[in-house]
Amino acid sequence: MTVIDDMEASTESIAAGNGVLGQRMLRKEDPALLTGEAIFTNDMKVPGALHLAILRSPYAHAKILSVDVSAALEIPGVLHAYSGADLADQWAAPMPCAWPVTDDMKNPAHYPLAVSKAAYVGDGVACVLATSDAVARDAIEAIDVEYDPLPAVIDLEAALSDEVVIHDELGTNKSYTWPLVIEETEGDCQKAMDESAFVVKERYVQQRLLPMAMEPRAVVAMPQPFGGDMTLYSSTQVPHILKVMTALTLGIPEQQMRVVCPAVGGGFGSKLNVYAEELLCVQLARTLKVPVRWNEERGENTQATIHGRAQIQDIELAADENGKITGLRVRLIGDMGAYLQLVTPGVPLLGAFLYGGVYEIPKAFDFSCTSVFTTMTPTDAYRGAGRPEATYAIEHAMDALARKMGVDPLELRRRNFIQPEQFPYEAYTGLVYDSGDHDKAARVAEDILGYADMRAKQAAQNTPDAKKRLGIGVSTYFEMCGLAPSRVLASLNYSAGGWESATVRVLPTNKIQVVTGTAPHGQGHETAWSMIAADKFGVDPADVDVLHSDTAIAPLGLDTYGSRSLPVGGVAIAMACDKVIDKARKIAAHQMEANEDDLEFAGGMFRVKG
């Protein structure tokens, strides 16, 4: 049970704003979503729009020998059909990867449609524009593609052997090796492995998975042919990043690109990207001077939208005779898929800082990640992006160590917890943790479960001939999120920087307007952000309007992913509110002929104290 469960929802709007944070409020977003009034991208009615459909490779790896679109063009309602080669001169730059994790990272040129080789099932090879979605989808079946199938590369270690090289121009399937180097500790990890009482060595395989937002992706590109402006509507988490990247990839001046996200039906990281279909719609709309739209079918979503996870984790944990950890070594092989999408290479690295979990890990830490191309859908950020994988590995390794030592897994963890008096604690990675009391949290969990009793029950029940055995799992979870501008992000070459913006205005009718650079897709930012401003100004949250997800209305921002919106975007709003209130205080003091220090601000009003 969470605290929220105990709170009654208020059906009335909360009147006095100061103190509204922490109260339970009904969501502003809900009425439109509950009545069908909300407009998702594919709900948009766009007169004259042409529908894009994409023919996708049925092969994981194949040379494209020829593409014949002539039969598709004969179908009534089909206006245009293109192969990848037909559009090869349309791109000012390859599709973007914004996270060059090393200077020598290999990144194959990736275009919205493949030209000479299909590198995964779902790789686009040709497309059609027609007067309806149904006609466009019929027509792609009339396109004749001659393939020369090549061996698929799906095993990560086989990929590293370079027996079959996917991108000829790279000469290797390896994209990069990224070590996390802890200064002046060279050799310490090996020493711990050699000299410690206990060492466990485990291999875990993080399977690929499909992010599967309920709303498949959808795109509408609306050109203004006579001014050159372009509006891209997309089911995306990242309108601002998409705006910049579309401008760069297509050679459109940034000021002429506008990106709007209507209602977005979930993302889970899969809509944190710049996709081929977005670029195709914009470029075709731009050249043909008509609106172009595309909506993803679920089957396409499984092939053409990024996948998550996909790593092999080799982890070695050394401990002294008491189970105290003395060394930790992690070797990852990251599966990039066929190409690097927006932040593909960075995902495994985000975990590098979390392999130590909540434990006191000495600086005898040795981490390295080698990432490799395969003939599968590109991977990218998915829910936690690299960090849940790290937690999985350290927690399983702790269990393995507990088994080896014959120690209770919770007891082993407890012996390694960073202690409350050690905070602020500088971890093995150089990160400083401000606070924590892991033992207290563990005791709460123990009490809820009745851990000792449950262990006793388990011992009684799990006799050798027991038909039904009782299992008890123990895990801690430690997270690093809300990435903001920091030396850690800079050290990882994360190009976007991690900042966020907020603009707060008090309108002439005493309503508050909040403009945010975050881009919600189910999180309820309109409600939460209005509560932040209402709390600051002491007004009704209903009187706060939150504007977002349109780069013409909210021009600055870095969008919503990685649990960053509240800790970065929400804080920006709070800080902007403070600035407005400070400014208002000066004006109020002047008008009231009072000293600023003699004014109090509550309920949206300045009053002279006393």
Partner 1 sequence: MDVTVTINGQEHTHDVEPRTLLVHYIREHVGLTGTNIGCDTSSCGACSIHFNGEAVKSCTLLAVQADGQQVRTIEGMADADGTLHPMQQAFMENHGLQCGYCTPGMVMAATSLLEENANPTEQEVRIGLEGNLCRCTGYHNIVKSVLAAANA
Binding site for partner 1 (CB under 8 A): 9, 11, 26-27, 29-40, 42-43, 45, 134, 212-216, 263-266, 268, 297-299, 521-524
Q: In whole angstroms, what is the distance from residue 360 CA to residue 399 CA?
A: 16
Closest CB 107 distance from partner 1, rounded Å: 31
Closest CB 473 distance from partner 1, rounded Å: 19
Characterize the bridge pairing of strands 124-130 and 174-180.
Answer: unpaired
Burial label for 397, CB within 10 Å (0-12, 13-18, 19+), is buried
Closest CB 5 distance from partner 1, rounded Å: 9
Q: In whole angstroms, what is the distance from residue 586 CA to residue 376 CA?
A: 60
Q: In whole angstroms, what is the distance from residue 403 CA to residue 276 CA?
A: 48
Closest CB 521 distance from partner 1, rounded Å: 6
Among the residues of 196-274, which ranges form H helices? 239-250
Closest CB 161 distance from partner 1, rounded Å: 37
Between 43 and 186, CB nearer to partner 1: 43
Between 215 and 540, CB nearer to partner 1: 215
Between 263 and 310, CB nearer to partner 1: 263
Between 65 and 481, CB nearer to partner 1: 481
Closest CB 180 distance from partner 1, rounded Å: 33
Between 43 and 578, CB nearer to partner 1: 43
End-to-end CA distance of the chain: 44
Between 141 and 297, CB nearer to partner 1: 297
Closest CB 306 distance from partner 1, rounded Å: 16
3-state class (DSSP) for residue 248: helix
The phi, psi pair for 2, rounded to 5°, reads -95, 165
Between 33 and 170, CB nearer to partner 1: 33
Closest CB 525 distance from partner 1, rounded Å: 11
* Burial state string for 568-599 with b = 16 or more CB within 10 A and e = fewer than 16: bbbebbbebbeebbeebbeebbeeeeeeeeeb
DSSP secondary structure, 267-309, as one string: -TTTTSS--HHHHHHHHHHHHHTS-EEEE--HHHHHHHSPBEE
Closest CB 164 distance from partner 1, rounded Å: 33
Closest CB 154 distance from partner 1, rounded Å: 25
Q: CB-based contacts of 496: which residues, under 8 Å, 6+ apart? A: 98, 241, 558
Q: What is the largest CA-CA distance in the chain?
A: 87
DSSP run (H or E) holding 532? helix 525-537
Nearest Cα residue to 311 out of 335, 331, 330 = 335
Characterize the bridge pairing of strands 544-547 and 512-516.
Answer: parallel
Between 40 and 359, CB nearer to partner 1: 40
Between 297 and 426, CB nearer to partner 1: 297
Characterize the bridge pairing of strands 174-180 and 365-373.
Answer: antiparallel
Between 107 and 518, CB nearer to partner 1: 518
Closest CB 148 distance from partner 1, rounded Å: 31
- In total, the chain counts a number of residues equal to 610
Q: In whole angstroms, what is the distance from residue 375 CA to residue 527 CA?
A: 43
Nearest Cα residue to 498 out of 507, 509, 490 = 490
Between 30 and 146, CB nearer to partner 1: 30
Identify residue 192 by its one-letter amino acid code.
A
